[in-house]
């Protein structure tokens, strides 16, 4: 069963020492859990164009029970365009990676004048090798090889990870050092598909998850100093420090005054900076994160409601019940039963 990190509140020096190096991004990734997969390789000869399935249809087919999939495409050979239904087209070159955090409708194409076919039509041309599909399709011209996959993050109740991201994340090969972890992950992904070794599906799943994390880290590192949203907040000296403290010990009886004292700033400055970056107060954020942790504990373990309430910072089970119902729309016991039922079905 997951145990939330616990720092002894009566030892402020320990609070400072541990929380100063606390990795907030890893904490969120641990709680929301990643599930990745590569679902096909496309060997596409120009001219060609296809529309991936709608995100809800893809989720039902690839990961039943998932509410949202983050889609990605890796250009292993050649080049193409990606065109969002409500946005400009973007040119992709060999080695480029694109991710769609919200699974927005889009078209992959060699020629922007080409009429796209559906993903269902594309899959009719698939060849299966040890359970993995390779799609050969197109007009016989220049070849583009695409690796297409997804990553799923458990949303549960509150997942700050996918908030305020752009609809398209594009990492260009020219910005990836040959010896970087991202370049190595991309190369390994391509090699693993081509090799077809035993355990390929498991290896591809882990590589897809690593690819997602590396793209997020690059997005965070490239943000301008005043960027709003969760990743921008992590980059902010004061707000990022407050998030470290809250995530390092979410069950502690935090107040904005206490956070400000720990950080070495005033209450008003911290409250204003937090609101500007995240659109909510520190205590609102903490309440949401506590319920996210509680939802994971409810779903993945068998701890009592009283124990979970205490672990995430509520003084009583009754107070926890009220907060959880207000946010999730149903009491925690009902939510747990429904979550268990959805897993079985």
pLDDT band at 319 (very low <50, low <70, confident <90, very high): very high
Q: Are residues 196 and 291 in the same domain?
A: no
Mean pLDDT of the chain: 89
**DSSP-assigned letters across all residues of 14-71:** HHHHHHTT--HHHHHHHHH-EEEEEEEEEEEESS-EEEPPPHHHHHHHHSTT-S--EE
Q: Are residues 247 and 173 in the same domain?
A: no
pLDDT band at 285 (very low <50, low <70, confident <90, very high): very high
pLDDT digits (tens, 9 = 90+) for 149-175: 999 988 778 889 888 799 999 999 876
pLDDT digits (tens, 9 = 90+) for 62-104: 777 777 789 999 999 999 999 998 878 999 999 999 999 998 9
**Greatest C-alpha distance within the chain:** 71
Position 1 pLDDT exceeds 70: no
Mean pLDDT for 317-329 is 94
pLDDT at 150: 93
Q: Tell me the two tokens of residue 259.
A: 């956070």
Contact by Cβ (8 Å): 251, 203? no
Closest C-alpha among 79, 142, 140 to residue 109: 79
Indicate whether 116 belongs to any domain.
yes
| Stated pTM of the model | 0.88
Q: Are residues 82 and 156 in the same domain?
A: yes
Indicate whether 263 belongs to any domain.
yes
pLDDT at 63: 75
pLDDT band at 60 (very low <50, low <70, confident <90, very high): confident
Any idea what the CATH number is for the domain that residue 209 is in? 2.60.120.10
pLDDT digits (tens, 9 = 90+) for 232-264: 999 999 999 999 999 999 999 999 999 999 999
pLDDT band at 17 (very low <50, low <70, confident <90, very high): low
Contact by Cβ (8 Å): 135, 122? yes
Q: Are residues 192 and 324 in the same domain?
A: no
C-alpha span between 282 and 263 (Å, rounded): 13
Domain count, the chain: 2
**Domain termination site, one of 222, 243, 266:** 222
Any idea what the CATH number is for the domain that residue 328 is in? 1.10.10.60
273 Cβ contact list (under 8 Å, min separation 6): 236, 238, 239
CA 67 to chain CA centroid, Å, is 12
Position 58 pLDDT exceeds 90: no
Indicate whether 6 belongs to any domain.
no
Residue whose entry in the numeric block shows the structure tokens 């010896």: 179
Position 146 pLDDT exceeds 70: yes
151 Cβ contact list (under 8 Å, min separation 6): 34, 35, 36, 69, 70, 72, 208, 209, 211, 212
- Going by their DSSP bridges, the two strands 143-153 and 169-171 should be labelled as unpaired
Of residues 6 and 15, the one with the higher pLDDT is 15
pLDDT at 120: 84
C-alpha span between 226 and 232 (Å, rounded): 7
Indicate whether 211 belongs to any domain.
yes
CA 50 to chain CA centroid, Å, is 25
Q: Are residues 16 and 41 in the same domain?
A: no
Q: Tell me the two tokens of residue 216.
A: 């997020």
Of residues 194 and 334, the one with the higher pLDDT is 334
Closest C-alpha among 300, 250, 313, 306 to residue 2: 300
Q: Are residues 194 and 74 in the same domain?
A: yes
pLDDT at 71: 94
Mean pLDDT for 290-313 is 94
Mean pLDDT for 205-214 is 95
Q: Are residues 211 and 310 in the same domain?
A: no
pLDDT band at 324 (very low <50, low <70, confident <90, very high): very high
Position 203 pLDDT exceeds 80: yes
Q: Using CA atoms of 155, 160, 163, 164 in order, give the dihedral in degrees to the nearest 10.
A: -170
Q: Are residues 217 and 243 in the same domain?
A: no
Q: Tell me the two tokens of residue 189.
A: 């992904």
Collapse the DSSP code of 151 into the 3-class scheme (helix H, G, I; strand E, B; otherwise coil) and give the result: strand
Of residues 44 and 19, the one with the higher pLDDT is 44
Residue whose entry in the numeric block shows the structure tokens 């400072």: 16
**Domain termination site, one of 222, 250, 281:** 222
Mean pLDDT for 102-129 is 90
Indicate whether 69 belongs to any domain.
yes
Indicate whether 5 belongs to any domain.
no
pLDDT at 69: 87
C-alpha span between 72 and 226 (Å, rounded): 27
Position 61 pLDDT exceeds 80: no
Indicate whether 3 belongs to any domain.
no
Give the domain range for residue 68. 34-222
Q: Tell me the two tokens of residue 19.
A: 């929380």
Of 64-68, 292-296, 302-306, least confident by mean pLDDT is 64-68
């Amino acid at each position: 069963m997951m145990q939330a990190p616990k720092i002894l509140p009566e030892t402020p020096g320990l609070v400072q020492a541990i929380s100063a190096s606390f990795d907030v991004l890893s904490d969120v990734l641990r709680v929301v859990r990643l599930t990745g997969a590569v679902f096909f390789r496309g060997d596409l000869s120009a001219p060609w164009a296809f529309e991936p399935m709608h995100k809800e249809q893809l989720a039902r087919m690839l990961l039943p029970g998932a509410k949202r999939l983050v889609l990605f495409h890796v250009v292993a050979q050649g080049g193409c365009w990606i065109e969002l239904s409500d946005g400009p087209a973007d040119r992709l070159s060999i080695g480029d990676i694109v991710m769609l955090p919200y699974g927005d409708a889009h078209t992959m194409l060699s020629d922007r004048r080409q009429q796209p076919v559906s993903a269902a039509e594309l899959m009719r041309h698939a060849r299966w090798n040890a359970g993995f599909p390779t799609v050969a399709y197109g007009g016989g011209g220049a070849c583009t090889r695409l690796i297409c996959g997804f990553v799923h993050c458990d949303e549960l109740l509150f997942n700050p990870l996918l908030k305020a991201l752009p609809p398209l994340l594009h990492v260009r090969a020219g910005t990836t050092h040959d010896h970087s972890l991202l370049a190595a992950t991309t190369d390994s992904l391509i090699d693993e598909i081509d090799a077809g070794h035993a355990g390929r599906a498991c290896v591809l799943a882990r590589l897809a998850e690593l690819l997602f994390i590396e793209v997020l880290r690059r997005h965070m590192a490239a943000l301008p100093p005043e960027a709003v949203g969760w990743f921008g907040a992590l980059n902010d000296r004061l707000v990022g420090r407050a998030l470290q403290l809250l995530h390092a010990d979410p069950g502690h009886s935090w107040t904005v005054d206490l956070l400000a004292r720990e950080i070495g700033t005033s209450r008003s400055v911290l409250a204003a900076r937090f609101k500007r970056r995240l659109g909510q107060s520190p205590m609102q954020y903490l309440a949401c994160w506590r319920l996210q942790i509680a939802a994971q504990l409810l779903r993945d373990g068998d701890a009592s409601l009283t124990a979970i309430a205490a672990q995430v910072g509520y003084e009583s089970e009754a107070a926890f019940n009220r907060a959880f119902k207000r946010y999730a729309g149903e009491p925690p016991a009902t939510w747990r039963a429904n979550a268990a039922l959805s897993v079985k079905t």
